[in-house]
Structure 1
């Protein structure tokens, strides 16, 4: 007999692989319900109706609660074809596949794309569902309806309640039926935990390193390894029809160099999308700013404002301490607020209350 996920979790606690957490234990029956239903043999016959698929799960809560760890455990113990993928990466694949279908002359490009997914999996597991782009917002409703109609079960994690998906987005009223569908087809479960494992790993440790020398690089490499296990893939965000790339990304943590975010012609919409998609940003090699790189400095101010408002945790390496990054040229007075925010974002516990 297959061991239940609750027992597997208890075994991991007993072996010291994880710490017992009441919020994690509370949601385990939901994962086990889905696993057990999918594991039931399907009785085949000419007039037998396919059984109703189990309701999926929408697991939401603050960063660092262990949602991704539980998802890993769940997917690794399934007996049916399943796929685990970051939601942003999945939507990029959908766009690319639709583009190819259109190039092949397919009238409704979404249909073959949905069919290819339906043919491959019984369960889709998404990490960090969130919608920041209107193109995604217009596609997901039809796509998920096709998946649900075919009996594909969806399990997803998110940092926000369904009603906050695509919040303040363009033409958001057209997106509201998708939120209703999520609530109908998935059990919505808030994971409330006193522990924040990711923040605990950062608590009490420096988060701003200067100068940006070999020692700083070593410290940041250690933090990246601790937060991601060294795993990484590129994250592509679509913003107003353009693609913004974060080259190193895993489980809500991104690592990027200053030039890649502030040395390119990015604007407020790009930085807002990054702040939505990322919970911890590691920003390397912030230079001294001034007249010679005024445009980069302006973008940096905009980026910090977006990260600050979204309560994104910032880890940074820089040429000097915040107050000494911008000491000459237009904008010195305005930069004082940015320096103050950089200081505040270093304080212990900053951003912990937000998901």
Structure 2
């Protein structure tokens, strides 16, 4: 049977929606292989499927720098693979749901557990949580697979062992090879069995071609839009939509020193936030560092020309830009003025010159080229 994935990819090439890329073409083969295996598993007699335990297939783990088309390939696979019970989401969104399910099991009485999980006995939440996930999807497609949180790291091995035993198959994109996940993390030796499990259950495919398609968009559109008139606002909005592609703005909540920071306009490694939400509220260095570590691209809108009366907001902007600069973040800005004119006078305006210089550097072609992973 012809591959629907290969057909869809070839059609995009003919339409000019994508360009021929040897790295992407090589990554198609394992996805086509998995497409066929999943289709064959669904093709057996109906009664047989009812009584045969579902089997996990060897998935695909697409890894490489940002902008190489990993998410595009996974999305095309997800759209064309002929199975009904499937789910595509960002890995951090999925893990947030897992922690909420674990919390619900631990806090629920017998009735609440029965209603949510269909069972109620035992203290270990991993098996009932895995059964809920497996009942909803036999194919899980994760974008931006990464592990930085110790709470995630300590449960992943047991969770995915239970999922694979229940016939779940994994496809994922990541900027990190499996051996680089949770690198230098606390108690990392306890995480190593999960790395071995992941490599045994998913074919690792490196896409590391020289062309960064995400940068094409940023180069073409620019990253600094000022003044914030109708034309520049429309261009800023258009670039955000283009970078989002088919993604949903799921939002993201970061926990910093026990406090929760919610960002409603976030998708994967992309964040859109206003100056007021980041600099007119009581945020500090730890908050900005956490933000910079979490998002590879930040759209900052509503950046005003600052006055001496807004010196505290100017100070926070300095700290925010320092954090983004050190993290090599892509920054796209909708502002009232050019960087050098943002804070011309007031306490700290002399020190702000360094921030203006950094903002100029962060909009340069050299900065865009240097940003990796």
Determine if the alignment matches structure 1 residue 234 to structure 2 residue 250. Answer: yes
Shift of 1:115: 0.9
More helix by proportion, 1 or 2? 2
User: Which residue matches 2:87?
Assistant: 83
What is the alpha-carbon distance in structure 2 between the residues aligned to residue 299 and residue 162 of structure 1?
36
Structure 1 residue corresponding to 2:275, chosen from 226, 251, 258: 258
Determine if the alignment matches structure 1 residue 30 to structure 2 residue 35. Answer: no
Q: Residue 237 and residue 58 in structure 1: after superposition, are their counterparts in 2 closer, same or farther (change >3 A)?
A: farther
Give runs of aligned pairs for residues 78-117 of structure 1, distance below 5 A.
78-80=81-83, 81-105=85-109, 107-117=123-133
Give ranges in structure 2 of 5+ residues lacking alignment.
114-122
What is the alpha-carbon distance in structure 2 between the residues aligned to residue 221 and residue 243 of structure 1?
27
User: Which residue matches 1:215?
Assistant: 231
Give runs of aligned pairs for residues 253-292 of structure 1, distance below 5 A.
253-289=270-306, 292=309
What is the alpha-carbon distance in structure 2 between the residues aligned to residue 306 and residue 259 of structure 1?
17
Q: Name whichever of 238-247 and 281-290 sits farther off.
A: 238-247
Report the 3-state secondary structure (helix = DSSP H, G, I; strand = E; otherwise coil) of the residue aligned with 2:357. Answer: helix
What is the alpha-carbon distance in structure 2 between the residues aligned to residue 136 and residue 298 of structure 1?
34
Shift of 1:51: 7.8
User: Which residue matches 2:320?
Assistant: 303
- Number of residues of Structure 1 aligned to a counterpart in Structure 2: 354
User: Which residue matches 1:151?
Assistant: 167
CA contact (8 A) 2:215 2:368 kept: no
Q: Residue 281 and residue 147 in structure 1: after superposition, are their counterparts in 2 closer, same or farther (change >3 A)?
A: same
Give ranges in structure 1 of 5+ residues lacking alignment.
none
Shift of 1:160: 2.3
CA contact (8 A) 1:314 1:346 kept: yes
Structure 2 residue corresponding to 1:131, chosen from 135, 140, 147: 147
Shift of 1:49: 7.8
RMSD: 2.7
CA contact (8 A) 2:138 2:168 kept: yes
User: Which residue matches 1:65?
Assistant: 68
Shift of 1:256: 1.1
Q: Name whichever of 122-131 and 211-220 sits farther off.
A: 211-220
Q: Name whichever of 314-323 and 235-244 sits farther off.
A: 235-244
What is the alpha-carbon distance in structure 2 between the residues aligned to residue 166 and residue 334 of structure 1?
37
What TM-score does the superposition give when structure 2 sets the normalisation length? 0.84
Report the 3-state secondary structure (helix = DSSP H, G, I; strand = E; otherwise coil) of the residue aligned with 2:271. Answer: strand
Q: Residue 10 and residue 209 in structure 1: after superposition, are their counterparts in 2 closer, same or farther (change >3 A)?
A: closer
What is the alpha-carbon distance in structure 2 between the residues aligned to residue 72 and residue 328 of structure 1?
49
Q: Name whichever of 48-57 and 13-22 sits farther off.
A: 48-57
Shift of 1:4: 5.1
Report the 3-state secondary structure (helix = DSSP H, G, I; strand = E; otherwise coil) of the residue aligned with 1:350. Answer: helix
CA contact (8 A) 2:3 2:36 kept: no
Structure 2 residue corresponding to 1:193, chosen from 187, 201, 209: 209
Structure 1 residue corresponding to 2:77, chosen from 57, 74, 81: 74
Q: Residue 236 and residue 351 in structure 1: after superposition, are their counterparts in 2 closer, same or farther (change >3 A)?
A: same
